[in-house]
Structure 1
Amino acid sequence: MTGANNSLIDDSTDERDSMKGWVAVACAFVSMFICFGVVYSFGAFFDPMSLEFDTSSSATSAIFSITAFIFFTGGIFSGMAADRFGPKPVLVFGGLTMGCGLYLTSLVNCLWVGYITYGLGVGVGVACGYVPMLAVVGAWFEKRRAAALGVAVTGVGLGTLVVAPLAAALITHFGWRQTYVIFGVCSVVGLILCGYLTPRSPVPAGQKSGMHLRELVKLPVFGYMYFAGFFITLALFVPFVFLVSYARAQGVDEVAAASLIGIIGGTSIGGRLGFGALGDKISRMRLYQSTFLIVAASFLIWLFSSHSFTQMIVYAVLLGGGYGGFIVLSPAVTAEIFGLNGLGTILGATYTAAGIGGLLGPTLAGYLIDKTGNYNTAIIAAMIFAFIGFLLLIPVGRYLKKRE
């Protein structure tokens, strides 16, 4: 396996792997729990909002698509800001933006206003709470970087596990508008606290300037990584928008249907921790490639689960494991290839692909569902996209082998 010391940028330092690094991991965990717990609970809000505004699947799913586009493409700006100013002002700004966005969404009277309030507010909030924290954690560790990232991004999985069914229960008792107000308050408080507690990344000894974006985008290996991320996210965000409504259409009750998203989040915790631990021992790229295959295979199970809630659970478990591995290994592999200096900017650049995939994936799936009257074509398309992503990683693996 290629070590970080063989990366394109020199990134040695004596400060890494200290206790401050684990403080950064804890703050990153909480930040991601809040950000992704909120955004991935959108499936629980899908039917209530669609019914109230009398909108189609594609129109309602566009809220999530716009949000995903903004929080991934916005990562390049939040990453740059964190590289320059540190995580504190970025997280404080993100918490305030996310809280305001959720509160304003609770007041909307038509869906298109929600595209702005939720899409922009929550999207910017997640952008501030995700990419900068990945970069901070990655910079604080050398020997156990993949494991530390695995613990940090477990916050995404646990947030999904807890918040999606919680959202469904709160909506049942208080309605979707009041639930957004509750989530908004929690977001402001949590992210601002994380901002004040997160230690700034250590400055590497003998630091060289990070790779400029113009140089980065000219590298063939960047192109393969970029488009692999694009195709896998075309697939990944589809279930977060449509799995709950799919289960409801098969007669599953509301809370049980929402629990499928929680299961994805819960099993993704195992994927994050397991793949994270393995990533410090064996080839990260091979593990990364395997997560794409796992995701692709999971959609085959979803395709044949229409009459079995048990099969839906199996799908959620398999997808969660592959998704968790993808989330933890993506920044680890990126750091291995490109180094640590300016990692926030580099991750932000690569994650714009996920933003585009997140924008187009659910929107395309919603269009296919409206056009065909069923979910099968959308599920097949997602499976194909995930497999294309795997194929695009093969040249990246060859590149890393040559560099060893």
Structure 2
Amino acid sequence: MTAVEATEGFPAHLDSARGWVTAGGAALVVMAAFGTIYSFTTFASAMAEEFDTGLGPVATVFAITIFLFFGSALVSGRLYDRIGIVPLLAVGGIMFCAGLVATSYVSVLWHGYVLYGIGLGFGGGLFNAPLFALTATWFVRYRAMAQGVVATGSGLGTALYAPFARSLLENVGWRGGMRVLAVVAAVIFALALGLIKRPPPMETGDARQHVALVVRTRAFWQMGVSGVFFTIAVIGSIGLVVAFAEKDGIPPRAAVAVFSIIGFASIVGRLALTSLARPLGSIRLLKIAFSGLPVAYALWLASTATGAIGAKFALLVVFGVVLGTAYGGFVALLGDVTVQLFGLAGIGTVMGLLFFSSGTGALIGPPLMGFTSDATGGIVVPIIVVGVVSAVGVSILFPMTGHPVPLPTYIGPPGAPPPPRPAPAAAEVLRPLVPQPSAAAPLAAPSSRPLASRPLAAGGSNGRPAVPMIRPVDDSATADPSLPPTSADPSLPPTSADPSLPPTSADPSLPPTSADTLAVPAVQSLPLSAPLRGAPPEVFWPVPADGAAQRKQSEMPGLVVDVADEERDEARSN
């Protein structure tokens, strides 16, 4: 960690006022981005009428935009880890506003796919995910709440921009409305550039290695795949809820009111669930928020079976509250859950990958609902489809672990408990170098055989003098009578004590023993077979094969082994 003043064990910038200022600036940017993009739902019917097309093609414009908005986080997350947030917000903000202005002049719908999609989608995606990653690095105790403040921006945008876009549509049309929204966004982005700031760097380890480990974990794939199902359902619903409500007989202004209710409810969900994150746990609350989606779609389906407009609208209001609360809470908790599970190393890249998976679902959801509605001529089947999709997503997310993933590169926030470590594997039992008796062979009774030290004249395989080997001498009680007794090698000089060493004295606490005898365990008192008795040192201490051959030739210089002759004789005998 860099030289930063610390308080209570935490760096001074964590949970500071400067962090809250940054979170407020990020919330403004998110409000402008989400509000502007979601205002497309208000313009969708007017655009479909002008271009003489159905809801499916128009919803595809929205789907491409949302896909790039979330999917470009795959690039922006890595860029944020390298260059920070300011360049990304500056470049992305210019692209965002330029895309709005350019889309207002299109004469063919597919031009909107390119201009609106790349400008608002890719441009907005350059700063969307990095803003959430930025906020996570400013806080420890209040990280979930700060993430909720940033995510509240999208709720405010949804709630405030929908009636604003409706007013623009009625007064200046959808083309003029996009130009006005471009000016508003440019002002907000310029203001936010003066508010947000990257925190002092903290040591988080090797981000690349950590991310490579994260993407192999089960929890990462559970979050990513469930995020695809989440955005299929939510973005598909948000993109067409106004058009579907109007198609079901709800007046236009009342349909826009349902959309605004979703936005306000998402604000409540973000603030309420993030405030409960510390006592209840962000991971548990994330699962609870996701489980609210199937309930919301059941209410939406029930509203289609109601004939009275008043009762239908009441059910739509309840649907909007449940959907907004679930949607807002899930988005607000996502950043805190990511940090808890995977740590701070490479946080921009990890969140970028998760946002990319969400973008994949956003590319599928609106066209799926729009084309299904065009094919069936109603809204019941699309609602059933997204209800089933949301239920599948819940079943994928619920088994996910509630604890940090035990990775060797995990570096969590200061003061956070470390992830659980897996139990160490049992130590491998090494095979003995000396042959051991089989389980069937009975052990002889313990005895105290005299052991004779026999230093090796030749050096070891490394050229150094070999360690004196301890070889058992004959024991009349256990020795094989068919074998000749062993004796000391007369070619070797007798051993003597080193005169440079002080004489040792016996420990008075131990019983007296003979000077040339030593009690050995029973396993060493086994009768020695002929091969073991005359075995070379390699049996007791392994040396390379070439070293053993050199030692053998040094002991028997007159023996010349012709390998070819031996192989030839063996072949003849066979």
Aligned match of 2:230 in 226, 229, 232? 232
Judging by fraction of residues, say which structure has more helix: 1
Asked if the contact 1:89/1:195 (under 8 Å) is kept, the reply is: no
Partner of residue 209, structure 1: 206
Partner of residue 99, structure 1: 97
Partner of residue 311, structure 1: 315
Partner of residue 493, structure 2: none
CA RMSD of aligned residues (A): 1.7
Q: How does 1:344-355 map to 2 (within 5 A)?
A: 344-355=348-359
Asked if the contact 1:76/1:344 (under 8 Å) is kept, the reply is: no
Q: How does 1:20-59 map to 2 (within 5 A)?
A: 20-59=18-57
Asked if the contact 2:340/2:404 (under 8 Å) is kept, the reply is: no
Distance in 2 separating the partners of 1:191 and 1:81: 19
Aligned match of 2:362 in 355, 358, 364? 358
Aligned match of 2:118 in 110, 117, 120? 120
Asked if the contact 1:295/1:319 (under 8 Å) is kept, the reply is: yes
Relative distance call for 1:333 and 1:398 in structure 2 (3 A) is: closer
Aligned match of 2:76 in 75, 78, 81? 78
Q: Secondary structure at the match of 1:34?
A: helix
Partner of residue 193, structure 1: 191
Distance in 2 separating the partners of 1:394 and 1:329: 15
Amino acid at match of 1:250: D
Q: Which has the higher contact order (CA 8 A, sep 6+)?
A: 1
How far off is 1:255 after superposition?
A: 2.2
Partner of residue 254, structure 2: 256
Amino acid at match of 1:276: T
Amino acid at match of 2:47: M
Amino acid at match of 1:53: F
Partner of residue 63, structure 1: 61
Partner of residue 340, structure 2: 336
Partner of residue 167, structure 1: 165
Asked if the contact 1:139/1:202 (under 8 Å) is kept, the reply is: no
Distance in 1 separating the partners of 2:185 and 2:375: 37
Query: How many residue pairs align between the two structures?
Result: 393
Distance in 1 separating the partners of 2:245 and 2:13: 49
Question: Over residues 55-110 of structure 1, what are the superposed CA-to-partner deviations in whole Å (9 max), with x where a residue is unaligned?
Answer: 12111100110011101110121222222211111111111101000000100001
Q: Secondary structure at the match of 2:325?
A: helix
Q: Secondary structure at the match of 2:205?
A: coil
* TM score, norm. by length of structure 1: 0.94
Distance in 1 separating the partners of 2:272 and 2:403: 25
Q: Secondary structure at the match of 2:320?
A: helix
Relative distance call for 1:275 and 1:362 in structure 2 (3 A) is: same
Distance in 1 separating the partners of 2:125 and 2:360: 14
How far off is 1:362 after superposition?
A: 1.0
Distance in 2 separating the partners of 1:79 and 1:12: 25
Distance in 2 separating the partners of 1:163 and 1:242: 16
How far off is 1:13 after superposition?
A: 4.1
How far off is 1:176 after superposition?
A: 0.3
Moved more, 225-234 or 122-131: 122-131
Relative distance call for 1:297 and 1:331 in structure 2 (3 A) is: same
Partner of residue 515, structure 2: none
Asked if the contact 1:90/1:195 (under 8 Å) is kept, the reply is: no
Asked if the contact 1:86/1:201 (under 8 Å) is kept, the reply is: no
Distance in 1 separating the partners of 2:321 and 2:231: 18
Distance in 1 separating the partners of 2:184 and 2:78: 26
Distance in 2 separating the partners of 1:241 and 1:233: 11
Question: Over residues 292-312 of structure 1, what are the superposed CA-to-partner deviations in whole Å (9 max), with x where a residue is unaligned?
Answer: 110111001001213411111
Instruction: Tell me which structure has the larger Cα radius of gyration.
Output: 2
How far off is 1:401 after superposition?
A: 9.4
How far off is 1:250 after superposition?
A: 2.5
Distance in 1 separating the partners of 2:342 and 2:208: 8
Amino acid at match of 2:227: G
Asked if the contact 1:145/1:280 (under 8 Å) is kept, the reply is: no
Partner of residue 143, structure 1: 141
How far off is 1:332 after superposition?
A: 1.0
Asked if the contact 1:154/1:273 (under 8 Å) is kept, the reply is: yes
Distance in 2 separating the partners of 1:26 and 1:187: 16
Partner of residue 221, structure 2: 223
Moved more, 46-55 or 389-398: 389-398
How far off is 1:252 after superposition?
A: 2.2
Q: Secondary structure at the match of 2:398?
A: helix
Moved more, 339-348 or 20-29: 339-348
Partner of residue 533, structure 2: none
Q: Moved runs in structure 1, 4+ residues, more than 6 A?
A: none
Partner of residue 469, structure 2: none
Partner of residue 294, structure 1: 292
Moved more, 375-384 or 135-144: 375-384
How far off is 1:130 after superposition?
A: 1.6
How far off is 1:202 after superposition?
A: 2.8
Q: Secondary structure at the match of 2:278?
A: coil
Amino acid at match of 2:56: S
Question: Over residues 273-319 of structure 1, what are the superposed CA-to-partner deviations in whole Å (9 max), with x where a residue is unaligned?
Answer: 00111112212111111111101110010012134111111101110
Structure 1: tracts of 5 or more residues without a match = 1-10
Asked if the contact 1:247/1:257 (under 8 Å) is kept, the reply is: yes
Distance in 1 separating the partners of 2:10 and 2:346: 14
Partner of residue 3, structure 1: none
Q: Secondary structure at the match of 2:234?
A: helix
* TM score, norm. by length of structure 2: 0.66
Q: Secondary structure at the match of 2:14?
A: coil
Partner of residue 241, structure 1: 239
How far off is 1:399 after superposition?
A: 5.8
Distance in 2 separating the partners of 1:397 and 1:268: 26
Distance in 2 separating the partners of 1:294 and 1:40: 22
Distance in 2 separating the partners of 1:12 and 1:374: 57
How far off is 1:12 after superposition?
A: 6.9
Partner of residue 272, structure 2: 274
Relative distance call for 1:334 and 1:211 in structure 2 (3 A) is: farther
How far off is 1:237 after superposition?
A: 0.7
Distance in 1 separating the partners of 2:75 and 2:12: 28
